[in-house]
Amino acid sequence: MLEKALTELIAAGASTPRSGRDPVNQPMINNWVEAIGETNPIYVDKAAAQEAGHADIVAPPAMAQVWTMNGLHGTRAADDPLGLATQLLDEAGFTSVVGTNCEQTYHRYLHPGEEVTVTSRLAEFNGPKRTGLGEGWFLTFLTTWSVGDEVVTEMLFRILKFAPRTEETAATTNSATPPASASSAVTAPAAATAPAAATAPTAAPTAATASATPISDGVPSAEVGPTRDFPAAPAARVSPVISKDTEFFWAGTKLGELRIQQLPDGTLRHPPIPALGQPETDYIVATGEGTVFSFVVHHAPPVPGRDLPFVVALVELPEGVRMLGELRGVAPDDVTIGTSVTVAFETLADGTVLPYWNASHA
């Protein structure tokens, strides 16, 4: 029985520690920061690292997983819980997979020359669930990277293993939000508490000191006003995943605000970027107006809570950033590049307020 096998996999605990192929090293750091576009000099310049309080160059915290990758032709260890769990689900007919959550906690920087080991375990499963993709099981894995006995990074990784929908099941799907219904939900013991959302080490440097209080056109968010009431969206509409990096945006939509992240140097960014080394996110509030920069008309597959076809538009805002959202108030065949739009909001079943675009009519 699938539930019994997954429960036994949880009870088996963590996999045997596995060492990375190479120690932390500068050439891989150089390649990674170039590929990602990371410009923080503490990763490539010793003087800059020392000025920031480090003894020498440090590795980007987000590279933790890089140091223990198996390589192009590598194979999973026999006790790897991800491989074992996915094999169980494959054999039960749940052959497709999609990632739903990934949260990392960084305890300290890694330094060139350090040897990193990794262990992983299945922490939780929930299922079977009916989702917009098909019936499936949510699996949550906890991975730990260490140097010797010291934990340096932790990661929560959740996937949905599902059987693709057929025409018979398409009409009876529910929201793909775990867990709860009359299905199995098994969690590892209390010691398996999931790590917090991705955060940089305490000593992470910043280019400049920004206000610890989010601002809205210069006004602290507490002074903006109470949560507003918006029309309810269809119950089947899937809610967004909200992280520590985006919660300021979703807090704003409940107030009827479209917030744009403001970096310490005044630059505006959307989507928001993480690891700024400050406890809160600074932002401005957009006017809520813009023009269609590009768009697609979605005809298939079906999407829970939405009537087909519908338009997804990338809207250019006068503030200089672009935002995606559903476009309404105009027939799909009549949408053109440059169409003027204004933002509107609707409330999802879980209370999240979702922005969308309405075509402006002269």
Residue linked to tokens 């090293």 = 25
3-class state of residue 21 by DSSP: coil
**How high is the pLDDT of residue 181?**
36
Residue linked to tokens 């709860």 = 180
**How high is the pLDDT of residue 197?**
39
Among left, alpha and beta (phi > 0; psi -120 to 50; other), residue 217 is left
From residue 336, alpha-carbon distances to 102, 183, 328 in Å are: 36, 46, 13
**How high is the pLDDT of residue 216?**
35
CATH topology of domain 2-192: Thiol Ester Dehydrase; Chain A (3.10.129)
3-class state of residue 352 by DSSP: coil
pLDDT in tens, the chain (362 residues): 899 999 999 999 999 999 999 999 999 999 999 998 899 999 999 999 999 999 999 999 999 999 999 988 888 999 999 999 999 999 999 999 998 889 999 999 999 999 999 999 999 999 898 887 889 999 999 999 999 999 999 999 999 999 987 655 555 544 444 443 334 566 665 443 333 334 444 333 333 323 333 333 333 333 345 567 888 988 888 888 888 889 999 999 999 999 999 998 899 999 998 756 677 889 999 999 999 999 999 998 888 888 999 999 999 999 999 999 999 999 999 999 999 999 999 999 989 999 999 998 75
Distance of CA 145 to the CA centre of its chain: 20
Cis peptide bond prior to 201, omega within 30° of 0: no
Task: Spell out the domain ranges in the chain.
Answer: 2-192, 215-359
Selection from 176, 323, 298 nearest residue 240 by Cα: 176
pTM given for the model: 0.55
Selection from 164, 199, 188, 191 nearest residue 81 by Cα: 188
Distance of CA 29 to the CA centre of its chain: 23
Quickly count: other Cβ atoms within 10 Å of residue 181's Cβ. Answer: 12
User: 152: buried, middle or exposed (CB in 10 Å: 19+, 13-18, 0-12)?
Assistant: buried
| Residue 110, strand partner residues | 59
